Amino acid sequence: MNDIDDTPVPQGELSIQTVAMPRDTNANGDIFGGWLLSQMDMAGAITASDVAGGRVATVAIEGMAFLTPVHVGAVVSCYCDVLEVGRSSVRIVVEVWINSKHDGEPIKVTEGEFVFVAIDEKGRTRAIKR
């Protein structure tokens, strides 16, 4: 919620925005959860790579719940909030938001906690320089 009214607001920084397209739908015309998950993974990886100063790999995804379907044409926005930076890992909450088709109000679609590990050019875990 923001300080002025009861409008919900995303937590974290905008990492990516894209448009949900017809090719990304299930038989009911809603966007596949797997497509949303891939957008979240890309958004988290962008943020984790910035924090880690290089290449990262996803090692865990925790606590996802889909709150509402996403319609074709929705602008899908992924926001990232860094929770913790360890010796070689970064823990990030990724939130997905769209704007309501009816009134334009922001709607939270899902969130998940992603863990990334910093890796070197050979794919081995490396320490994050701070």
The DSSP secondary structure of 52-74, one letter per residue, reads HTS-EEEEEEEEEEE-S---TTP
Cβ atoms of 39 and 46 closer than 8 Å: no
Q: What is the pTM of this model?
A: 0.91
Q: Mind listing the domains of the chain with CATH numbers?
A: 13-118 (3.10.129.10)
pLDDT tens digits, one per residue of 77-93:
999 999 999 999 999 99
Closest to 35 measured CA to CA, from 9, 63, 83, 74: 74
Q: Is the pLDDT of residue 47 over 80?
A: yes
Q: Convert the pLDDT of each residue in 51-72 to its tens digit.
A: 999 999 999 999 888 999 999 9
